[in-house]
Amino acid sequence: MDTIKLIHVIVLAIIEGITEFLPVSSTGHMIIASSIMGIATDPFIKLFTIAVQLGAILSVVVLYWKRFFQTINFYIKLLVAFIPAAVFGVLFSKKIDALLESALTVGITLLVGGVILLFVDKWFNKPTVKEEKDISYLTALKIGFFQCLAMIPGTSRSAATIVGGMSQKLTRTAAAEFSFFLAVPTMFAATGKKLYDFYKEGHNFTGEEIKLLAIGNVIAFVVAMLAIKTFITFLERRGFVIFGWYRIVIGIVIIGLIVSGHQLETL
Write the pLDDT tens digit of every residue in 108-160: 889 999 999 999 888 888 888 888 888 999 999 999 999 888 888 788 888 89
Q: In this predicted structure, which of 22-36, 41-55, 70-84, 98-112 has the lowest mean pLDDT?
A: 98-112
**What residues make up the domain containing 8?**
3-266
**Strongest mean pLDDT among 94-103, 166-175, 192-201:** 166-175
| Reported confidence tier of residue 266, pLDDT bands at 50, 70, 90 | very low
CA of residue 67 relative to chain centroid, distance? 21
Model confidence at 99: pLDDT above 60: no
Write down the pLDDT at residue 245. 94
The larger pLDDT score, comparing residue 80 to residue 1, is at 80
| Reported confidence tier of residue 101, pLDDT bands at 50, 70, 90 | low
Strand partners, 129: 170
Q: Give DSSP secondary structure letters for the chain.
A: --HHHHHHHHHHHHHHHHHTTTTT-HHHHHHHHHHHTT-TT-HHHHHHHHHTHHHHHHHHHHHTGGGGGS-HHHHHHHHHHHHHHHHHHHHTHHHHHHHTT-HHHHHHHHHHHHHHHHHHHHHT----B-SGGG--HHHHHHHHHHHHGGGSTTS-HHHHHHHHHHHTTB-HHHHHHHHHHHHHHHHHHHHHHHHHHHHHTT----HHHHHHHHHHHHHHHHHHHHHHHHHHHHHHHH-SHHHHHHHHHHHHHHHHHHHTT--GGG-
Write the pLDDT tens digit of every residue in 4-17: 888 989 999 999 99
Domain count, the chain: 1
What mean pLDDT value characterizes the chain?
84
Write the pLDDT tens digit of every residue in 183-240: 888 888 878 877 777 777 776 778 888 899 899 999 999 999 888 888 878 877 778 8
Write the pLDDT tens digit of every residue in 14-30: 999 998 888 888 877 88
Query: pTM for the full model?
Result: 0.81
Write the pLDDT tens digit of every residue in 82-92: 999 888 877 76
Write down the pLDDT at residue 32. 80
Model confidence at 96: pLDDT above 80: no
Model confidence at 267: pLDDT above 60: no
| Reported confidence tier of residue 95, pLDDT bands at 50, 70, 90 | low
CA distances in angstroms from 250 to 111, 154, 227, listed in the order given: 8, 11, 20
